[in-house]
Structure 1
Amino acid sequence: MSSAGKHVKEVRKRRGLTQHGLAEASGVSLSIIRKLEQGERETARLETLRKLAVALRVPTMRLSDGPRPEGPREGTGERWEAVRAALEQPPLRLESDDDLPTVEGVRTSLAVEALPLYAAHRFSALAEVLAPMLRDAEALGDSGRRVRVRLLQLAGGAMVHTRQFGAAETALRRALDDAGDRMEGAATVNTMCWLLLRKGELDTAYDLAVKWADDIEPRVSRATPTELSAWGSMLLRVSAAAIRNSQTGQADDALRLARSAAVLLGREHAPESEILRAFGPTTVKLKAAENASVADRPDAVLRLAESISPRSLKAATSSNRNRYLLDVAHAHARTRQYSEAFGKLEQIREDSPEWLPNQRYARDILAKILKGRRTLTADMRTMADVVGLPL
C-alpha cells in the first residue's frame, strides 16, 4: 500500500466511514479510493486528495505521500539551458578592454525587452534575451545589486511558469540574498510561495507566507501603497495555501484581510519593488474566484464573474487574468456549459499561446469538456494538441 493509501485508510477508519461512505461524502469514485487503499495507485491528484481531506476533516497534506510536481514540457530544458547556466555558474571575468555593461544599460534592457516579454508570456523569446542580461548584471558587482535582484525575480517567475522548479529556487534564493529591504524581500518570497504551491508543498507555502505577512504587516493608519500592496499580496498567498490544504477558515480570514488592504488602496497598484504582479480590488476578486474553484463551488465562481467587468479585468496582470479565465471555464464545465467553457480556453489561447500549454489545469478542464461531448469539433481537437491532452 502506498503511503497516501495508508493515510486515507487510517483516517477513514478513525472517522468510522466505509469506502462507500467516503466515496459518497467526498464525491471521489469508489474505484479510486479502493485502488489507493489497495496500493494499485501510488497517489492521487492534489484536487482528489483535497476532496477526500474535506470529507475526512483533515488537512490535505495529512493524506499526501509527498508532492510530485509535473516537470517541464518537452524542449523546455534545451531552450532555457543558457539561462540556467547564467544562474548557476560563476560570473564571467571581464578584461579591461571588454565592452563593459552599465547599470543603466541593464536596467533599460530589463524594462524594454525582458519585462514586456514576461508580461506577454512569450517565454521562448524571453529565454533568448535573459541569459546575457543576467551575465551583465552579475558583472556590475555591488553597483548592479538592485537591477540584478529584479532580473533574478523575473527569472524565478519565468522558471515557475515553465515548471523548471530547481532553477526557479536558485534564482529566487539569490534574489532574496541580495534584497536590500523588506519590500524587495517580500516580492521575492511571494514568488517563492507560488513556487511551493505549484510543487504541492502546501504546509511550507502556508508557513512561509504567514511569517512574511506577519513581518510586513503595516500600521494601517499610515501605510504606504507599497506596504499595503506587499502585505495584501502575501495574504493572498496565505489564503491560496490554506484553501488547497482544506483549511477553509484560515483561507477566508486571510482573504478578508487582503480585501481590507485592497479597499484602502482603492485601485490596482504595482510598486517598484514588485515587478511581477499588482494588487488591488480586482486581484482580490480574482483570487476569491480561484478559492471558490479550488473548493469546488462553481456556482460561487460564476456569481463572482458577474461582478468583474471586462474593463476591470484588464487592470489585472496577465497571469491572474488567465488563471481567472481558467476558473470560469472550469465552473462552466462543472455546470455542463461546455460551449462557454471552451470559449474561455480559446480566449486564453488567443491572448497567451505560450502560457496555456504549461497549465495542467487547462488539460483537466478540456478533458471535462470532451467527456461531455458526443462529437468533437476541429477546434477542440486542435486545443487538445495545444494543451497536451493525452490520447
Structure 2
Amino acid sequence: MPQWSDYSTGERIKILRGREIRQADLAEMTGLSVVTIQKAEQDKALSLPTLLAVADALSVDTSVILGQQAPRRAMEQGDRMMVRDLSRAVHDTAAGLLPADAEAAPLEELRATTDRCWSLYWRGRYIEAGAVIAPFLTAAAARLHEQAAGEQAEALGVLSDAYRLAGYVANLMGARDLAYAAIGHAQTTAERAADAMRVALVGSGRAWVYLRDARLPEALELAEKAASDIEPQFSRATPEELTAYGSHVNFAAVVASRMGDKERAADFLSQSHATGARMGREVRAHGTLFGPVSATTQAVGIKVALGETGKALDLINSIHDVSDLTEAARNRYAMDKALAQADARQFEASLDTLEETLRASPDWARHQTLPGVIVAKVGRASTAQLRRVSELIGVSPGGQGFLPATARTAL
C-alpha cells in the first residue's frame, strides 16, 4: 500500500479533490482554467500561484499537496473547510476581531446553543458540531463585548464553553495547534469569569490535548489537579458536581494507564467507581455524562491499556446495558471491547464487534484511529471479514499503509 509521499503531486490533488469535486468545480473554486487543473493533475505543470490557489480551495496546506505532510485519514473537503472556518473563528474572536454584522445573541440563546453543540459532539457528529461552534463563538464574543463592566461573568462562562468545544473538535480532527489555541482561550476566559468549575473543566480538556500529543507526565499532572480542585464532599454534593468529579478522576485513570502506572490508575478507578455508585445513575452536566455505567465501561479501556486483558474481559461480561450512554461513549466502549478481544486472540469476536460499530456509526468511525490499531492486532489473516473491515476504515488488512477514503475511485 503506497504512503502519501509515494503519490505524485497530480495524484495527490486528484485524491484531495475526491468524488464530490469535479475538475470544472475546482477550476471555478480557484479562478483557474480547466486546462490548468488538468495539467496540474497530469503533473505537466504546477506554478506557485496554481499551487497556492489549489491548496486554498481544497482547504489544505501546500505541504500536503507536495507530499511533505500526509492529510488526516478520511478527512474530506467538507471536514477541511469546517476546520478552517473554526480556526478563523477561534483566532479572530480571541483577537477581538468581529464581523461588522456580528450580532450579540441573548445569554439564554447562547446557553441553548452550548447544549446543542454538546449534544452533537456526544452523538459523534463532530463536523456538524464544528460548523455550529464557529458562528457560536462570534455570537458569544459579541455578547461579551456588549455586556457592561461588572456584568460579564456569565458571558465569559459561555465563551469559555465555546472555546472548549472548539478545542475538543480540533483535537479529534488532528488539528493540534488549533486545539492548543482554543483550549488556551477557554482557560483565559474561565479565569476571567472566576468560575472554579469551568477552570477545572478546561484543565482536564488541556490534559486531553496533552494526552493525544504524547505529553503524558504533563497530562497526568493537569488531570490530577483538575480532579482535586473540584473534589466534593460526597454527603452534600449535587449530581452535577459528582458528574464533573467522576469524569475527571476517570480521565486521570486513563492517563495513568497510558503511562503504565497501575497503582495510580487503580486509585483513580476506585474513586471513579465510588462516585458512580454514589450517583446511582448516569447524569449529564458540564458538557459530559457520568455515572455507574460510564465508570465501568471506561474502566475496560484502562484495563486494556495496562495489559490486564483478563480483567477487561471480566468487566465486559458484567456489562449488559449501555443504552444510557451517549452514542460516542457507546462506540468508544465497543472499540475497547474489540481491542480486549483482539488481545485475547478472540479474533472473530473482535472483528464482529468492530464491524458492527463501523457500520452503525460510519461518521463517528472515520475520525477514529483505534479501528486501525485493532485491525493491525488481528493480523494479516486472509479472511473475507478482515478484508471487509479493512475496507471500511481505509487501511490494508495488516493495518499498514495509507489509503485515503477517495483513493480507490480517484486513481
Report the TM range for the smaller structure's normalisation. 0.7 to 0.9
- Asked whether the equivalents of residues 357 and 386 of structure 1 are also in contact (C-alpha less than 8 Å), the reply is no
1:365 alignment partner, SS class: helix
1:184-203 to 2 correspondence within 5 Å?
184-203=198-217
Q: Which runs of 5+ in 2 are unaligned?
A: 1-69, 145-151, 403-411
Larger mean CA deviation between 343-352 and 327-336 belongs to 343-352
Deviation at 1:221, TM superposition (A): 2.4
* TM-score, structure 2 normalization: 0.70
Q: 1:136–1:243: structure 2 CA closer, same or farther, 3 Å change rule?
A: same
Deviation at 1:308, TM superposition (A): 1.0
Q: Distance in 1 between matches of 2:252 and 2:104?
A: 43
Q: Distance in 1 between matches of 2:326 and 2:89?
A: 27
Q: Distance in 2 between matches of 1:374 and 1:348?
A: 19
Q: 1:71–1:299: structure 2 CA closer, same or farther, 3 Å change rule?
A: farther
Q: Distance in 2 between matches of 1:244 and 1:93?
A: 41
Q: Distance in 1 between matches of 2:382 and 2:267?
A: 39
Q: Distance in 2 between matches of 1:209 and 1:256?
A: 16
Partner of residue 334, structure 2 = 325
Identity percentage of aligned residues: 28
Letter in 2 for 1:171: A
- Asked whether the equivalents of residues 82 and 131 of structure 1 are also in contact (C-alpha less than 8 Å), the reply is yes
Partner of residue 184, structure 2 = 173
Which of 293, 307, 328 lines up with 1:296 in the alignment?
307
Letter in 2 for 1:208: L
Q: 1:218–1:129: structure 2 CA closer, same or farther, 3 Å change rule?
A: closer
1:1-391 to 2 correspondence within 5 Å?
72-73=72-73, 74-75=75-76, 76-89=79-92, 90-93=95-98, 100-112=104-116, 114-141=117-144, 142=152, 144-179=155-190, 180=193, 181-271=195-285, 274-275=286-287, 277-310=288-321, 313-374=322-383, 379-385=388-394, 390=401
Letter in 2 for 1:359: Q
Deviation at 1:204, TM superposition (A): 0.4
Letter in 2 for 1:194: W
1:270 alignment partner, SS class: strand
Deviation at 1:186, TM superposition (A): 1.9
Deviation at 1:282, TM superposition (A): 0.9
Deviation at 1:227, TM superposition (A): 2.3
Deviation at 1:111, TM superposition (A): 3.4
1:316 alignment partner, SS class: coil
- Asked whether the equivalents of residues 120 and 318 of structure 1 are also in contact (C-alpha less than 8 Å), the reply is yes
Q: Distance in 2 between matches of 1:240 and 1:93?
A: 39
2:174 alignment partner, SS class: coil
Q: Distance in 2 between matches of 1:127 and 1:335?
A: 37
CA deviation map 1:138-188 (0-9, x unaligned): 111136323222222221111122121221122222222222422222222
Deviation at 1:285, TM superposition (A): 0.6
* TM-score, structure 1 normalization: 0.73
Q: 1:351–1:191: structure 2 CA closer, same or farther, 3 Å change rule?
A: farther
CA deviation map 1:225-282 (0-9, x unaligned): 22222222221122111121121111101111121111111111222xx11x211111
Q: Which runs of 5+ in 1 are unaligned?
A: 1-69
Letter in 2 for 1:306: N
Partner of residue 22, structure 1 = none
2:336 alignment partner, SS class: helix
Q: Distance in 2 between matches of 1:217 and 1:115?
A: 23
Deviation at 1:318, TM superposition (A): 3.0
1:80 alignment partner, SS class: helix
Q: Distance in 1 between matches of 2:384 and 2:99?
A: 62
Larger mean CA deviation between 100-109 and 138-147 belongs to 100-109
Q: 1:386–1:86: structure 2 CA closer, same or farther, 3 Å change rule?
A: farther
- Asked whether the equivalents of residues 149 and 178 of structure 1 are also in contact (C-alpha less than 8 Å), the reply is yes
Partner of residue 49, structure 1 = none
- Asked whether the equivalents of residues 200 and 229 of structure 2 are also in contact (C-alpha less than 8 Å), the reply is no
Letter in 1 for 2:380: K
Tell me: higher relative CO, structure 1 or 2? Use CA pairs within 8 A at least 6 residues apart.
2
Larger mean CA deviation between 120-129 and 228-237 belongs to 120-129
CA RMSD of the aligned region, Å? 2.6
Q: 1:152–1:371: structure 2 CA closer, same or farther, 3 Å change rule?
A: same
Q: Distance in 1 between matches of 2:189 and 2:172?
A: 22
1:256 alignment partner, SS class: helix
Letter in 2 for 1:167: L
1:380 alignment partner, SS class: helix
Q: Distance in 1 between matches of 2:181 and 2:290?
A: 26
Deviation at 1:191, TM superposition (A): 1.8
Q: 1:243–1:381: structure 2 CA closer, same or farther, 3 Å change rule?
A: closer
Q: 1:225–1:268: structure 2 CA closer, same or farther, 3 Å change rule?
A: same
Q: 1:91–1:242: structure 2 CA closer, same or farther, 3 Å change rule?
A: same
Q: Distance in 2 between matches of 1:378 and 1:293?
A: 25
